[in-house]
Structure 1
C-alpha cells in the first residue's frame, strides 16, 4: 500500500514535466514562444482538458516562487545607483500609466453596466500587468537590458508596490466594514517600513559576510541553500509585513548586486527560477475555467477585447507623452496589455470582503487568464508583421555565434579600430564584436570582419569565444557598459587577460579596483603626444620636450597610484598608460612656462 502511494505521488510531477518537455520545444520550433507553450500545455492537462489535476490554484501558489526568484535575479542586475537612475521611470512613468489605465478600465466596466465598485475592482485588477509573462517575453527577446525594456521593468516594479494600497481600498469598500482604527493603520504602515529597513540592514551588513564564510567552507550545496534562503527569507519577510513577496526578493537582489558572489548566486538560483516559472505558466493555463467561459462567453470575450484595447491605448498614450517612439510605444502597449497574477489576489480579497460576488470573480478571473494567454500571441504577431524604422536591420550582418580567437576585441569605434590594426598586422587571431550595424557594414568594405554582438551580455561573450580567448580587449565608449563587461569577464573568464579602455581618470581608478590587467585612459596619451608636438613647433629642443613629458607622466603616475593606495585597493596592476623611461635631466628652455604646465597637471583630478 505504501509503495502504491509513493508511486501515485509521482504522477503529478511526471505529468507536469512531460507537458513542459513536449509542448515548449514544439511551440518554440514553430515560433510561438515558450510562454504560450506552457499555457496551452496547462490547459490540456488541467481540469478542463485531460483532468490530471483538479486544483490548479494550489500549483499556482507554489509556482509563484518562480516569479519571486525572477525578480531576485532582476534585482541582481540592478545596482543601487542604477535603480536610483530609474526613479523617474518607476514613480513618474509608473504612476502616470497606472492612473490613466485604471481610469480607462474602470470606464469600460461602467459601460458594461456594472456598479462603480465592481468596475473599479475589475479595472484595478486588470491594470496590474503579469510580471511573469512580460519578463519572460523580454528575456526571450533579449530586451531586459535595453532602454525600452528597462522602462517596462520600472513600471512592473511600481505595480508590485501598488497591490498593498489596493488591498487596503478593498477593505474600505467592503459592505461588511471591518473597522480599522487609525492606530491600527499606522501600525500596519510602521510594520511594513520596519520590515523594509530590516531587510536593507541585513543585506548591507550580513549577506556578504555570510557568503564569504560559506565560500570558505567550500561546500557548493550549502552556497545554493544559502542563496535560496536569502530569496525565500526576503519574500517571507515582505509577505508577513503585508507587502509583495516579489518586492522582497527584488530588494534582496539589489542588495547583493555589488557582491563578489553575485554571479555564483545567480547561477545557483537560475535552475529553480526556470522550473518554477514554467510551473507558474502551466498553473495559469490549468486555471482557465472553460465551463465559465462557455456559460458567459459573450461577456468574457467582449470583456477581454475591450479591456485589452483600453489598456493598450492608455499605455500607448503615456509612452508617446514621455517621448517614446511609435514602435516602442506600440510594443509596450501590446506586451503589457494583459492582467496579471496579482489580479487573482485582488479579486479573491474583494470576494471575501463581499465587494464582488463569486460569479463576477469567476468571470474576471477568466478574462485575466485569457488576456495572459493572448499576450504572447500578440507579441509574436507584432514582431513578425511590423518593422521598427528606428532599429537597423541585421541583413548582411553576421551575428556572433560559435566564434573563437586568441584575442576578443569588444568595440570597433575609433579606439578599437587602431588597436585591432596592430594585432591584425602581427597576424594575431582576432575576433571583433560591436553593435553599430552601419560601422560593421562600412568596416567590411575595407576588409575587416566584424560580428554583431553586445558585449554586456554573458551569452554573447560565450558565443564570441571569451572562454578560450587569451586576452579580452574592451574598447567600448561607454563607462557603464565597460564596467558591466569587466564585471562579467572577471567572474566568468578569470583566466583571460583583461585590457580595458578607461573613459577618464575617475573611471581608471574604478577599473584599478576591479584588478584588470591593463588600463589605458582614452585621451591621456594622445593629448600628451599632441602637447609634445605643440612644444616642438614652438622651437623647444626635442630632449627638453621629452624631459617635460617624462616629468608629467611620472607625476601623473605617482598621483594615480597614491589615489589608488588611499582606497587600499592597489594590487600592482598594469600601468594605466605607456610610460617612457626618464631621460637625463637638462635645463628647460622656458622654465616658467614648463613649471606652469607641471603645476596644472597636479591639479587635474577627474577628467583627462
Structure 2
C-alpha cells in the first residue's frame, strides 16, 4: 500500500483534528471570536459534504479530510462527558439543592411547554402525532455543551440556563424510553424497561455518592503524595470514565455519571487540581464534537431546501426564545435576564441529534424528515455564539443600565459610594451587602455596568471626575467613598478633588504599592491600601496559622503590623523593611 491507504485512518483523522485546533483557536482568539464557530466550520470544510466529497477526483485531499464521520463519534461523546464532568466540578451538592426549585420547576415547564407547542404545530402541518411528539421533545432540548461555557454558572443568566439544562440532562433517558414505548412494535416492553432503568439507575447513583465520599479523598490523596501529574491525571480519568460506564451499564446516560463524579470531587480539596489538569482534554474533546456537528451539514441539501430550512430554523428559535423568556418573567426574573437567557437557550442541542436517532430507529420519524431536522439542529448549534451576542444586545435595549439621573431620587439615602466596579469593586460590594450596608457603585464603562446590573449589583453609569456626578449619588450624606480604580494618576486627582470639597469625608483608596499609597495619603486619602502589602500580610497569616499559632494572636499581630506600615507610609512615604529584633532576656 502507498499514499493515504498506508496511513491508519485514526491517525490521519487525529492529524486533521489537531491541525484544525492549532489553526482555529489562535486565529479566532486573535479576532475575539469564540472558537466554537471555527470548529464547526472546519468540520463543514473537511467533512464528507465538504472537501471530502472531492476525494475520488483528487486523491491528495484524503490527507486533509475526514470521510467517515462515525469514526469520530466515540471521541465526540467523550468530549461531552468531560464537559459535564467539568460542570460538576464547578458545582456542589449544596448549590444543586438551592437550585432544586428552578430545576424541577422552571426546567420542567420549559421542556414540557416548548415540546408540547412544537408537537402541536408539527401535528397541524401533517406529521403523525407520535412523530410530532418525538420531534417536539427533540427540538425542545438546548445545548449544554455550548450554552454553559458561554453563560457560565455564576451569573443570573447562567443559573437560569443551568437549571433548565440540568433538567433536560435528567430527562434524556426517560424521553428515549418514551419514544421506544410509542414505537408500533414495542408498546409494553418500553414501560417495563423504563421502570427497570429508573430503579437500577437510582441504586447506582446512591452507591456512587456513598462510596465516592469515602473513596475519592483517599484516592486523590495517594495520587497527590506521589507528586506525579501523570498519576493524578490517570486517577481523574479513572473516576470520570468509571462513573460514566456505571450509569451507562444500567441504561442511564453516561453524562449523568460524569456529572455526579464531578460533584463528588468538587466536595474534596483536590477539585482545583483536577479541574486544571482536565481542562486541555475537555477543550480538545469538545472541539472534536463540534467538528462532527459541522461534518453533518450538507450545503447541497441546504441550498435545495433553503427557504424551508431557514423557516424551520427561525420558527424553532423564535418559539423557544419567547416561551423561555416568558416563563422566566413569570418566575420573577428581570427583563434583561429573561431576554438574554431566552435567546441563548433558543437553539437545539447535541441531545436533539440523539433523540432524533432514537425516534428514527423506533420508526416514529422517516429518515428524510430526520435528516431535515438534523440539518436544522446543526445550523442552530453553529449560530449559538451569535445568539449569545444577540441576547446581550437585546437585553441592553430591553433594560438598559440606569444613569445617574435615574437614581437621583435615592441620593438622600446615606450609602457608601464605590468608584470603579471591576474585580475589587465587586468584592467590596459583596462584603457590604453581606453586612447590610447600603452602597452604590459608579463606573464609566457601560458594558461593565450593564453586566453588573444583570448580576444583581446596584451599579450606575457615570464619570466620577465630573463635578456633578457624585453629587447625584448623594456624596454629602455618604458614610465613605471607596476608590478601586487602578489608574494611578486618576485616583490621585480624584482624592484631591474629594478632599477639597469634603474635608471630613472618609476616603479609602486602592494603591498599587507603598509609594502609590504615600501619594494618595499626601493627596488627602483617609486610608490607602497597597495591594502588595496586603498580599504579604495574608501570606504571613496563612504561614503562622499553618505553623500552629492560634488564630487570635495571629490576627492581632497582623492588625498591629498593618497599622505600623500605614504609619510609616504616612510619615516617610515608603516602608522601612528593617526587622524589629527581640530583646534578649539573657544578660550579657
CA contact (8 A) 2:201 2:250 kept: yes
Q: Does residue 90 of the first structure (1) align with residue 130 of the second (2)?
A: no
Distance change >3 Å, CA 89–CA 385, structure 1 → 2: closer
Q: Distance in 1 between matches of 2:430 and 2:194?
A: 58
- What is the alpha-carbon distance in structure 2 between the residues aligned to residue 102 and residue 184 of structure 1? 23
Map of 2:133 onto structure 1? 120
Q: 2:10 touches 2:71 (CA, 8 Å); kept in 1?
A: no
Contact 1:36 1:377 in 2 (8 A): no
Q: Write the distance in 1 (CA, Å) between the matches of 2:102 and 2:431.
A: 33
8 Å CA contact 1:518–1:574 kept in 2: the answer is: no
Unaligned runs of 5+ in 2: 53-64, 405-417, 434-451, 471-479, 487-511, 515-534, 561-588
**1:105 is matched with which residue: 110, 114, 118?**
118
Counterparts of 1:447 and 1:205 in 2: how far apart (Å)?
Answer: 49
Maintained 8 Å contact 1:319/1:329: yes
Give ranges in structure 1 of 5+ residues lacking alignment.
417-433, 453-467, 471-494, 501-514, 520-568, 582-608
Matches within 5 A, 1:181-580: 184-384=193-393, 387=396, 389=399, 391=401, 411=428, 437=459, 449-451=483-485, 497-498=537-538, 572-575=550-553, 578=556
1:29-69 Cα offsets, whole Å, 9 max, x none, are 44542222221222111112111112224324312222221
- The number of equivalent residue pairs is 453
- Deviation string 1:344-386 (CA, Å, 9 cap, x unpaired) is 1111111111111211111121111111122222222343465
Cα 1:165–1:499 shift into 2, 3 Å: same
Shift of 1:3: 10
Pairing partner for 1:145 from 154, 177, 201: 154
* Alpha carbons 2:131, 2:359 under 8 Å: kept: no
Q: Are the counterparts in 2 of residues 517 and 573 from structure 1 also a CA contact under 8 Å?
A: no
**CA shift in 2, pair 1:412/1:128, >3 Å:** closer
3-state DSSP class of the match of 1:302? helix
2:442 is aligned to: none
Question: Which residue number corresponds to residue 555 of structure 1?
Answer: none
Q: What is the rounded CA distance, in whole Å, between the counterparts of 1:148 and 1:154 in structure 2?
A: 10
Say which SS state the counterpart of residue 396 (structure 2) adopts: coil
C-alpha distance in 1 between matches for 2:44 and 2:381? 13
Quote the RMSD (CA, aligned, Å).
3.9
Separation in structure 2 between the aligned mates of residue 175 and residue 299 of structure 1, nearest angstrom? 29
Q: Could you say if the C-alpha distance between residues 573 and 41 of structure 1 is closer, same or farther in structure 2, counting changes exceeding 3 Å?
A: same
- 1:128-184 CA-partner distances (Å, limit 9, x unpaired): 111111122224xxxx21122112111111100111111111111111226428765
Matched, 1:54 2:59: no
CA–CA separation in structure 2 for the residues paired with 1:85 and 1:443: 42
Distance 1:21 1:269 in 2: 19
- Distance, in Å, in 1 between the alignment partners of 2:324 and 2:97 is 23
CA pair 438-66 structure 1, distance change in 2 beyond 3 A: same
SS at match of 2:551: coil
1:79 is aligned to 92
Q: Distance in 1 between the 2:555 and 2:18 partners?
A: 56
**1:349 alignment partner, SS class:** helix
Partner residue in 2 for 1:134: 147
TM-score computed with the length of structure 1 as normaliser? 0.66
Answer yes or no: is the 8 Å Cα contact 1:292–1:362 preserved in 2. Answer: no
Q: TM-score, normalised by structure 2?
A: 0.68
1:307-362 alpha-carbon deviations (Å, 9 max, x no partner)? 11111111111011011122111111111111111111111111111111211111
Q: Evaluate the alpha carbon distance shift between residue 224 and residue 176 of structure 1 in structure 2; reply closer, same or farther with a 3 A threshold.
A: same
Cα-to-partner distance string for 1:258-300 (whole Å, 9 max, x where unaligned): 2111111111111100111112111111111234334433432
Q: What is the aligned partner in structure 2 of residue 429 from structure 1?
A: none
The change in CA–CA distance for 1:378 and 1:184 in structure 2 (over 3 A counts) is closer
CA distance in 2, matches of 1:409, 1:136: 22
**Could you tell me which residue of structure 1 aligns to residue 46 of structure 2?**
45
| Residue 312 to residue 215, structure 1, CA distance change in 2 (3 Å) | same
Instruction: Tell me the SS of whatever aligns to 2:538.
Output: strand
Give the match for residue 165 of structure 1: 174
Deviation of the 1:229 alpha carbon = 1.2
